[in-house]
Amino acid sequence: MTHNSRSSRRSLGNHSLLKIPPTPRPRLTVHDQHYMGADFYTLCSDAMLIAMTRVANTVEAKVASLNVTLASPNAVPSYPFPLTLQYYLSHLVTPEDITVKESEEEV
Protein backbone atom coordinates (compact mmCIF):
# COMPACT_ATOMS: atom_id res chain seq x y z
CA MET A 1 0.00 0.00 0.00
CA THR A 2 1.31 3.45 -0.88
CA HIS A 3 0.23 6.78 0.47
CA ASN A 4 0.02 9.86 -1.72
CA SER A 5 -0.08 12.88 0.60
CA ARG A 6 -0.99 15.32 -2.18
CA SER A 7 -4.31 13.70 -3.02
CA SER A 8 -5.11 12.22 0.40
CA ARG A 9 -5.86 8.88 -1.21
CA ARG A 10 -4.67 5.40 -0.50
CA SER A 11 -4.00 3.06 -3.30
CA LEU A 12 -4.44 -0.71 -2.95
CA GLY A 13 -3.58 -2.42 -6.19
CA ASN A 14 -6.05 -1.22 -8.82
CA HIS A 15 -8.46 0.21 -6.21
CA SER A 16 -8.32 3.74 -4.89
CA LEU A 17 -9.87 4.53 -1.47
CA LEU A 18 -10.73 7.99 -0.20
CA LYS A 19 -9.66 8.85 3.31
CA ILE A 20 -12.71 8.83 5.58
CA PRO A 21 -12.66 11.50 8.28
CA PRO A 22 -13.21 10.31 11.85
CA THR A 23 -16.76 10.38 13.13
CA PRO A 24 -17.29 13.26 15.56
CA ARG A 25 -17.83 12.11 19.11
CA PRO A 26 -21.14 13.14 20.67
CA ARG A 27 -21.17 15.44 23.68
CA LEU A 28 -20.37 13.60 26.86
CA THR A 29 -23.00 13.32 29.54
CA VAL A 30 -22.74 12.49 33.22
CA HIS A 31 -23.38 8.83 32.35
CA ASP A 32 -20.35 8.69 30.02
CA GLN A 33 -17.78 9.64 32.66
CA HIS A 34 -17.16 9.09 36.31
CA TYR A 35 -17.14 12.55 37.81
CA MET A 36 -15.61 13.25 41.18
CA GLY A 37 -16.34 16.06 43.62
CA ALA A 38 -13.56 18.25 42.23
CA ASP A 39 -15.06 17.95 38.72
CA PHE A 40 -18.45 19.19 39.92
CA TYR A 41 -16.80 21.96 41.95
CA THR A 42 -14.91 23.16 38.88
CA LEU A 43 -18.01 22.99 36.70
CA CYS A 44 -20.07 24.98 39.22
CA SER A 45 -17.28 27.50 39.84
CA ASP A 46 -16.89 28.19 36.12
CA ALA A 47 -20.65 28.59 35.64
CA MET A 48 -20.87 30.96 38.62
CA LEU A 49 -17.93 33.04 37.39
CA ILE A 50 -19.48 33.42 33.94
CA ALA A 51 -22.89 34.32 35.42
CA MET A 52 -21.40 36.86 37.84
CA THR A 53 -19.38 38.44 35.03
CA ARG A 54 -22.57 38.76 32.98
CA VAL A 55 -24.40 40.45 35.90
CA ALA A 56 -21.46 42.79 36.58
CA ASN A 57 -21.39 43.83 32.92
CA THR A 58 -25.14 44.48 33.03
CA VAL A 59 -24.80 46.69 36.14
CA GLU A 60 -21.89 48.62 34.59
CA ALA A 61 -23.94 49.20 31.44
CA LYS A 62 -26.85 50.47 33.54
CA VAL A 63 -24.58 52.94 35.38
CA ALA A 64 -23.15 54.16 32.06
CA SER A 65 -26.68 54.63 30.73
CA LEU A 66 -27.67 56.63 33.82
CA ASN A 67 -24.60 58.83 33.39
CA VAL A 68 -25.58 59.56 29.79
CA THR A 69 -29.08 60.50 31.00
CA LEU A 70 -27.64 62.73 33.73
CA ALA A 71 -25.40 64.49 31.21
CA SER A 72 -28.39 65.79 29.25
CA PRO A 73 -28.96 69.55 29.65
CA ASN A 74 -32.45 69.30 31.18
CA ALA A 75 -31.63 66.51 33.68
CA VAL A 76 -32.06 67.25 37.36
CA PRO A 77 -29.72 64.85 39.13
CA SER A 78 -30.88 63.46 42.43
CA TYR A 79 -27.52 61.78 43.02
CA PRO A 80 -23.89 62.66 42.35
CA PHE A 81 -22.69 63.11 38.82
CA PRO A 82 -20.89 61.26 37.41
CA LEU A 83 -22.56 58.32 39.06
CA THR A 84 -20.04 55.74 40.26
CA LEU A 85 -20.51 52.02 40.40
CA GLN A 86 -19.86 52.08 44.15
CA TYR A 87 -22.60 54.68 44.74
CA TYR A 88 -25.03 52.77 42.54
CA LEU A 89 -24.38 49.49 44.39
CA SER A 90 -24.66 51.21 47.80
CA HIS A 91 -27.77 53.34 47.21
CA LEU A 92 -29.67 52.52 44.03
CA VAL A 93 -29.30 48.83 43.26
CA THR A 94 -32.37 46.58 43.19
CA PRO A 95 -32.41 42.84 43.95
CA GLU A 96 -33.11 42.13 40.27
CA ASP A 97 -29.90 43.96 39.32
CA ILE A 98 -27.66 41.70 41.37
CA THR A 99 -29.46 38.34 41.25
CA VAL A 100 -27.11 35.79 39.71
CA LYS A 101 -28.61 32.79 37.95
CA GLU A 102 -26.58 30.30 35.97
CA SER A 103 -27.92 28.83 32.75
CA GLU A 104 -27.01 25.63 30.93
CA GLU A 105 -25.22 27.60 28.20
CA GLU A 106 -22.77 28.94 30.80
CA VAL A 107 -21.69 25.50 31.90
**Mean of the per-residue pLDDT values of the chain:** 76
Within-domain flag for 86: yes
- For residue 38, being part of any structural domain is answered with yes
Q: State which residues form the domain around 88.
A: 30-106
Backbone angles phi, psi at 6, to 5 degrees: -70, -35
For residue 18, name the pLDDT band (cuts at 50, 70, 90).
Answer: low
Q: Considering the domain boundaries, does residue 79 fall inside one?
A: yes
Distance CA(47)–CA(56), nearest Å, equals 14
Instruction: Inform me whether the pLDDT recorded for 8 exceeds 50.
Output: no
13 in a structural domain: no
Is 52 part of a structural domain of the chain? yes
- pLDDT at 75 exceeding the cut of 90: no
Q: Give the chain's end-to-end CA distance (angstroms, integer).
A: 46
Cis peptide bond N-terminal to 82, omega within 30: yes
Q: Does some domain include residue 10?
A: no
Domain count, the chain: 1
